[in-house]
Amino acid sequence: MEKRDKRTFDNIRQNILLSLSEEKKTINEISRKSDINWRTVENHLTYLSGRGLVNEAFSSEYVRIFEITHEGEEFVRRSNGEFNRRILREVKISSLG
């Protein structure tokens, strides 16, 4: 069984925001798309909601649907550039060793 590297909170939150940037989704849809446990997704959505990056678009006894806010879209746009630069640095460093 292959061991997967542990993801950071930043990685998890970015994956959630990227998933929501496509369309509104339930917690389970986000969980399946990003390969993150649904409870973890729910906890990070609470954090992201508090930061104003996502909104709960619909809530009932059985389902909660989330959407990304304008601030969340801007955050993804800005952080995506930084994320890409960080990945390129890591690739360059790993190729040297």
CATH code of residue 50:
1.10.10.10
The verdict on residue 3 lying in a domain is no
Q: pLDDT per position in the chain (97 positions), as tens?
A: 566 678 899 889 989 999 999 999 999 999 999 899 999 999 999 999 999 999 999 999 999 999 999 999 988 888 876 655 554 455 444 444 5
- Domain-located, residue 82: yes
For residue 56, give both structure tokens.
Answer: 């709960």
Residue 40 lies in a domain: yes
Q: Is residue 28 part of a domain?
A: yes
Residue 69 is assigned to a structural domain of this protein: yes
The reported pTM is 0.77
Judge whether 31 and 37 are in contact, CB under 8 Å: yes
Q: Please name which of 38, 70, 90 lies closest in space to residue 46, comparing C-alpha atoms.
A: 38
Distance CA 93, CA 95 (A): 5
**Domain assignment of residue 57, yes or no:** yes
78 inside domain: yes
The C-alpha atoms of residue 44 and residue 90 are separated, in whole angstroms, by 26
Report CA torsion sign: 87, 88, 94, 97.
Answer: negative
In a domain, residue 4? The reply is no
Domains contained in the chain, number: 1
